Structure 1
Amino acid sequence: MSDPLQYRALAPGPSPQPCSGIPPCDNCRSLNRVCVFDESLDQRRRIAAKRTAEELGYHRDMLNDLFKVIRLAEHTYSTKLFEIIRNDATPEEIRAYIDRALATIQSSDVPNKVSQETTTKLKDIRRMINLQGPSPSFRRKVMDVSYLCSTPPIWVRARPWTTVTDDDDIVSHLVSLYFTWDYPFYAFIDRDIFVKHMSAGDLESDLCTPFLVNAILANACHFSEFSEVYAVPGDIATKGITFLEEAERLWDQEEQIASLTSLQGTLLLFEWYSMFGDDDNGYTLLNRAIDIATTLGYIGVYNSSNYSEELPPDILNSRKKTAWGLYQVDTVVHTAFLKPNRIHNMCLKRLSRAPTHEDREHWVPYPLCRLSPPAYYSQYFDESCTLSEIASKMSHHLFGDDENLKTSELRETLSSLYEDLKYWHDRLPNGFDPEDAAPHILLLHIRYYTLLITMISCPKGSKSTHADQLEASCSDPFAGIAVSSARAIAGLVRTHQTKYGVSRSHIFALYAVNLALFVLLNHRSFDTSDPDFVSLALALHIIANRSNIGNSVFQIFKESLHGKVDGKKFKQSPLPDELKELLYEDYFLEIEGGSSSEDDQLHDVGTASSQEGCGRGSGFEICEMLSRYESLTLGREEQVIQDLRETNFSY
């Protein structure tokens, strides 16, 4: 494996195609070209100068704000702050002090103008100091240090594909982010074919259109901290909104046209709306995508006139990739929603699986400066499709309309599905070892464990009740699978966090981490100091900060925790103060000012109820949570919050 930080000699002479600067680059390797670097195309000099200026401005602003806090804050705060700085405190230690000072100022009985101004400044500095902390922060026109380590692996031009910007650097940055962090999980676009056609700049192309490009750019903004991706600085709800509006305008023009690119773009809009929970648009667009695929003859009733192996390779391969990518989306979404998936028949053959010695491309963790693990894109896609076939069978057997399924039949069905899943997982290629895997392969393992959890916890889908469940007792052969699967997810998430971070993880990680947390939270032996719970809670916080749906999910998790665990006991637990305040911030402020006996009773009741029964939490609570998760992704947040208030935020 080559070291991405090692400098190599640049080949002389111009090249008609842009190169990443480290030959052989991904573009040239995938297209079997000689990799030649053209300095005239090197965007790094201008970008580096711009970023250096921005970094200097960032540190100047931070220093000025620090002086303002010292001048505004009470003498005790400024003295302590001096001591911390003189003792060579780390940014995290400075942030911890600011948090404690902020909590004290906010709980002051007689707020005044000075304390309010100080609070505002403390918040600003906390946000700026948080360079590598657990939550991503918006820093105006300042790039994370990791951006300085790499140039976009994919270089394309903005025009003629979008009118939102003419900045080729930004568009290349976003396209590279999309194909690094989002694309591999579902892979419903053939990356190399798309990039080739986008680079050609031909508006008559059947494999790249302005609608598709703007839909990709809108989604890619989710993974970027460039100031240009925000319509309103720092507001995550506005990330990518300008590209989205352009895509929606173009989609309205193409809505009546069923084409490969309209299908791909519709799937991308589904992903964007699912992240931001916008009034059923996400699920509506998924159904629309399925309808387009049916019209095109990719799925549904087989028609020989719609299928031919004699098509040009670019078109045939793109059709297959998109059809089976759609199938994966369909099964992931519907099993998560505890419903049968919609696609019953695939009319296009699956792409041929490349042998290991040919599937040699490496996944480049742009924009991070880290080693690049093997991607195994072809083998991954094939394995993911096989898992989708099992998930499809599971969704119809367990989440269909058969309400007369007897307990004995249910156990037999579960046993059969469990064996299918285990057989698939046990026979994954050697290169899929989580310790050396790229993020999409880690998520494939995580997806396997989420299927085990939903299969065991909700065997009759969203219609499950306590009476419908398998007997949740210590003697039940399936009783330990959900918890062991949740712990396996925690381990995989820790690996993801250690190697690549989780702030840019695919949105599926939000669902999986949330699911695993609730399995642990509702188990009879739940302990707030459980390392798996701690790592999952921190990961959820990082992922949740990236989207509207994430923030809502994290808030609901916090309130559910409040209903299960006594706040005073939680404050006394041996956990990092940051995590305790993160999960119980409002309650800590109540304690400082004197919490009411009614609040204490509420938390005590929640604690007692969570400890009842040997297998409590393995059934109904998980199903109910997944139903509410579905409502959030469909933009029904107000209804979810109302439901939780009526049940004291307790599952």
Structure 2
Amino acid sequence: MIPLNHDEQLPPLAPGPRAPIVGESVAASRPKKSSTACQSCKQAKRKCSGPPSPCNACRGADSECVFDESLDLRRKIAVRRTVTELEDSRNYYRELLHSLLASLRSPEPNRVDLLLNLIRRNASLLDIAAVAAETPASSGDANAAESISRRDSGDIELQSPGGSFVDSHSQVTLEMLCDIPLFQVPAKPWTAVTDDNNLVSHLVSLYFTWEHPFSQLVDQIVLLAEMSKGDLDSDLCTPFLVNSLLAMASAYSDFPKVLVIPGDMNTRGQHFYMEAERLWKAEGGKATLTNIQGVILMCCVLRYQGKERMSWLVLKQAVQLARDFGMFQRRKHHNWKDVSPDMNRIFSTTAWAVSILNAQMSLEMGQVADLMLPTTRPFEALDCDDAIMWSPYPRMNQASYVGKPAVHRYVMAELSNLTEIIVDMENLLFDKAFDIGAAELWSAAHEIYSRVRICLERLPDALRIDDQPLPQALFVRIKYHQGVISLFSRVLDHFGHTYPAWSLEARTTRLQSAKDIAGYLRIQQQCYGPKQVPCPMIDVVHSTLPILLDEQDDIESKQAFVELCRFLTDSRQRLKRVDNIIQTIERIANECGIELPLEAVDVVDFD
């Protein structure tokens, strides 16, 4: 591994002063770097001393010196200008569409025929726009033809965005047109699927917005930096890892380019997944950090495609790779002492991400998580603040959103706490429960429940629920309540109807957690809309719906059930796993003789 050595980037230490110097600092002696160059220096590709005008180079050449900060794409003024241009462009195309529809609805057959003839002749969009924009009159043909003639002669100017129109734009969706990725990374040399930098940047931005905060399998800052470098010899970023990530991110994208078969939503990201598969086979099963991360991402892709069994098998493969790599052992090898603190943190974070997913899926499968938890946490409890900010993406409906700290470390700390509880829960429910009495089982289950409740009560202020809480802050609470549901559902399976008092308390407790989950998911939709639902939240709906279905006599439970069905429907086109969840609910309802609410039937279209 290549250690991250930040010391190499620091300037050499200056010698100490011979005597006290008042009012001076080391920083004062360093040359000030120019933040922007004048237009003359940019054109001549020479070094510019920066504002104010004139710069040193222009003063020496006796040339005009003009600084225009709006041309610097790093500055907010340039971003605002770009947003304004995109909004103007969007409005133009919207008005053009309305004009075209109005023209096609025209009662004048000559006008409609002319438009259709232009379209069939593959006329330019400007010609079609000129006809569509004409006010209908009795002499439709003549007016339209005259309009085209006037435009061609320069007497009329259509105000299209940018002053011109390219036919290929007609195939670009409105969302693509208005898209400004949060992170700019190159497509090459990381993927052979596409050379579209904007598409890859779009997918990477989606991943770090809606998937990464809930799993934190990779180090966001490091991976983005390594992708930008484009170094194929990197130990922290490989084509296999990137293609796996792009396949996962495709679940959140509506861009046509993420579909292998146009119009077939089930083919989202399949080209990236197939490329990742090819690259993984070429690796020959080597246990490396990026291979572990890439295989886990492939596991998640299969999971949300509804291939749960295959996903489970791929997870076991990743766990074995992590074992072979030594992620869950004390590092006694002499080389470990040479590893930088940053690399140790990356190893530890990935180890916990693997453990969290393994514990979660083991609980769903009804098995003990046969995996030793990592021996150390990636960071100390007092070292949870970092410089990473979070904002929703795409931002078409969130333009005024002010970025917030992403609180990734706080989320990882809480999910690690929960995983330790889940491992104990699995040992109790799937092993010890068969050798102890009912009273001892109930006492042990209550002790685990108390640990969950204490964790919820002691959540840090960084994960507070405000007017527009972070999705990951909601997710932490949702996962704790999912743990409560899993605990008492399994306890009820052991008890049956033998202990009415305990059974009633277990049912009441898990029902309250199910209602709380529905409330948090309602906040998620109210704040961020139905379109971008983090995939990990779908897993929670899977375990919550059966609890609410079993309590349909309760009005609040019935309403929560319908809301979660609507929540599922919003993700149905993106995630094949949703169909599996719906089929499970139908099967449970049929087996238990429960009539599904009509509102839910209308929303989900149950068979």
Using the size of structure 1 for normalisation, the TM-score is: 0.65
Work out whether 1:477 is the aligned partner of 2:477. no
Matches of residues 387-466 of structure 1 in structure 2 within 5 Å?
387-400=418-431, 403-435=434-466, 436-459=468-491, 464=493
Q: What's the CA shift for 1:171?
A: 0.5
- Mapped to 2, the partners of 1:263 and 1:54 lie a distance apart of 45
> Is the 1:320–1:350 Cα contact (8 Å) retained in structure 2?
yes
Match of residue 241 from structure 1 = 270
Match of residue 361 from structure 2 = 333
Alpha carbons of structure 1 residues 361 and 204: separation in structure 2 relative to 1, 3 Å:
closer
- Mapped to 1, the partners of 2:392 and 2:346 lie a distance apart of 24
Q: Give 1:522's aligned amino acid.
A: D
Match of residue 298 from structure 1 = 327
Match of residue 363 from structure 1 = 390
Matches of residues 342-357 of structure 1 in structure 2 within 5 Å?
342-355=370-383
- Mapped to 2, the partners of 1:505 and 1:59 lie a distance apart of 31
Q: Secondary structure at the match of 1:530?
A: helix
Match of residue 152 from structure 1 = 181
For residues 319-342 of structure 1, give each alpha carbon's deviation from its aligned partner in whole angstroms, at most 9, with x where no partner exists: 121111111111222223332112
Q: Give 2:281's aligned amino acid.
A: D
> Is the 1:190–1:318 Cα contact (8 Å) retained in structure 2?
yes
Q: Give 2:392's aligned amino acid.
A: P
- Mapped to 2, the partners of 1:323 and 1:390 lie a distance apart of 17
> Is the 1:359–1:379 Cα contact (8 Å) retained in structure 2?
no
Work out whether 1:188 is the aligned partner of 2:220. no
- Mapped to 1, the partners of 2:460 and 2:365 lie a distance apart of 29
Alpha carbons of structure 1 residues 474 and 353: separation in structure 2 relative to 1, 3 Å:
closer
For residues 137-168 of structure 1, give each alpha carbon's deviation from its aligned partner in whole angstroms, at most 9, with x where no partner exists: xx9853449x73x6211110100111111111
Alpha carbons of structure 1 residues 566 and 355: separation in structure 2 relative to 1, 3 Å:
closer
Match of residue 385 from structure 1 = 416
Worse overlay, 309-318 or 44-53: 44-53
Worse overlay, 364-373 or 254-263: 364-373
Q: What's the CA shift for 1:508?
A: 2.2
Q: What's the CA shift for 1:43?
A: 8.3
For residues 216-248 of structure 1, give each alpha carbon's deviation from its aligned partner in whole angstroms, at most 9, with x where no partner exists: 111100000001111122322100001111111
Match of residue 505 from structure 1 = 533
Matches of residues 81-100 of structure 1 in structure 2 within 5 Å?
none
- Mapped to 2, the partners of 1:185 and 1:519 lie a distance apart of 24
> Is the 2:213–2:408 Cα contact (8 Å) retained in structure 1?
yes
Identical amino acids, percent of aligned pairs: 26
- Unmatched runs of 5 consecutive residues or more in structure 1: 1-10, 16-33, 68-138, 587-651
Worse overlay, 283-292 or 432-441: 432-441
Q: Give 1:243's aligned amino acid.
A: F
Match of residue 524 from structure 2 = 496
> Is the 2:538–2:568 Cα contact (8 Å) retained in structure 1?
yes
- Unmatched runs of 5 consecutive residues or more in structure 2: 1-34, 43-71, 107-169
Alpha carbons of structure 1 residues 355 and 255: separation in structure 2 relative to 1, 3 Å:
same
Matches of residues 66-85 of structure 1 in structure 2 within 5 Å?
none
Worse overlay, 222-231 or 253-262: 253-262
- Mapped to 2, the partners of 1:261 and 1:316 lie a distance apart of 14
Matches of residues 38-53 of structure 1 in structure 2 within 5 Å?
none
Q: What's the CA shift for 1:46?
A: 9.5
Residue 544 of structure 1: which of 561, 572, 591 is its match? Answer: 572
- Mapped to 2, the partners of 1:279 and 1:512 lie a distance apart of 15
Matches of residues 211-360 of structure 1 in structure 2 within 5 Å?
211-278=240-307, 280-299=309-328, 301-305=329-333, 308-355=336-383, 358-359=385-386
- Mapped to 2, the partners of 1:64 and 1:473 lie a distance apart of 71
Q: Give 1:393's aligned amino acid.
A: D
> Is the 1:222–1:239 Cα contact (8 Å) retained in structure 2?
yes
Using the size of structure 2 for normalisation, the TM-score is: 0.70
> Is the 2:565–2:603 Cα contact (8 Å) retained in structure 1?
no
Q: Secondary structure at the match of 2:237?
A: coil
Work out whether 1:515 is the aligned partner of 2:546. no
Alpha carbons of structure 1 residues 584 and 245: separation in structure 2 relative to 1, 3 Å:
closer
Alpha carbons of structure 1 residues 472 and 239: separation in structure 2 relative to 1, 3 Å:
farther
> Is the 1:472–1:479 Cα contact (8 Å) retained in structure 2?
no
- Mapped to 2, the partners of 1:361 and 1:445 lie a distance apart of 21
Work out whether 1:203 is the aligned partner of 2:232. yes
Worse overlay, 169-178 or 550-559: 550-559
- Mapped to 2, the partners of 1:306 and 1:496 lie a distance apart of 48
For residues 538-560 of structure 1, give each alpha carbon's deviation from its aligned partner in whole angstroms, at most 9, with x where no partner exists: 11221333211112222443465
**Which structure would you say has the larger Rg?**
2
Q: Secondary structure at the match of 1:510?
A: helix
